[in-house]
Structure 1
Amino acid sequence: MFAKIIKYVLKPLASLLLAAAITFSFLVAGVKLLGVELYTILSPSMEPNYHTGALIYVKEVDPAELQVRDVITFRLDGTTTATHRIIEVLHEDGLQFRTQGDANDIPDTNPVDAADIIGTPVVHIPYLGYAASYVQNPPGLYAAIAIFAAIVFIVLIVDILDGVYNPKPDKKAKADNSNRKETEA
Structure 2
Amino acid sequence: MKQHIISVIKLLGIGIFSFLFFVVILFVLQGKDEYGRGPTFFGWSSYTILSNSMQPSFSSGDVVVMKPVEDIEVTVDDIITFMMPERRFVTHRVTDQYVEEGVTYYVTKGDNNNVTDEDPVVKEQIVGVHVFTIPKLGSLAQSIRQPIGYVLLIALPIAIYLLLTLYEIIRKRSNEKS
TM-score, scaled to structure 1? 0.69
The residue that corresponds to 2:136 in the other structure is 127
1:139-171 deviation per Cα after TM superposition (whole angstroms, max 9, x unaligned) = x2776665425423431331232232146x89x
Which residue is equivalent to 1:103? 112
- Structure 1 window deviating more from structure 2 (69-78 vs 20-29): it is 20-29
> Any residues of structure 2 matched to 1:1-185 within 5 Å, and which?
7=6, 11=10, 12=12, 15-26=15-26, 29=29, 32-62=40-70, 65-93=73-101, 94-133=103-142, 140=145, 147-166=153-172
- Residue 23 of structure 2 aligns with an amino acid whose one-letter code is T
CA RMSD in angstroms, aligned pairs only: 3.5
Which blocks of at least 5 consecutive residues in structure 1 are unaligned? Answer: 171-185
Deviations 1:80-124 (A, max 9, x none): 111111111121152221001111121111101211111012221
SS at match of 1:95: strand
Whichever structure has more helix as a proportion of its residues is 1
Q: Residues of 2 paired with 1:114 and 1:8: CA distance?
A: 56
User: Rg: which structure is higher?
Assistant: 1
Specify the code of the residue in structure 1 equivalent to 2:108: T
* Higher normalized strand content (fraction of residues): 2
Q: Deviations over 1:20-51 (max 9, x none)?
A: 34235346649634333221111111111111
Quote the sequence identity (%). Answer: 27
Structure 1 segments of 4+ aligned residues over 6 angstroms from their partners:
none
How far apart, in 2, do the equivalents of 1:51 and 1:7 lie?
Answer: 43
* CA offsets 1:32-71 (integer angstroms, 9 cap, x no match): 3433322111111111111121011222112871111111
Task: Call closer, same or farther: CA 1:131–1:84 in 2, change over 3 Å.
Answer: same
Aligned length: 163
TM-score by structure 2 length?
Answer: 0.71
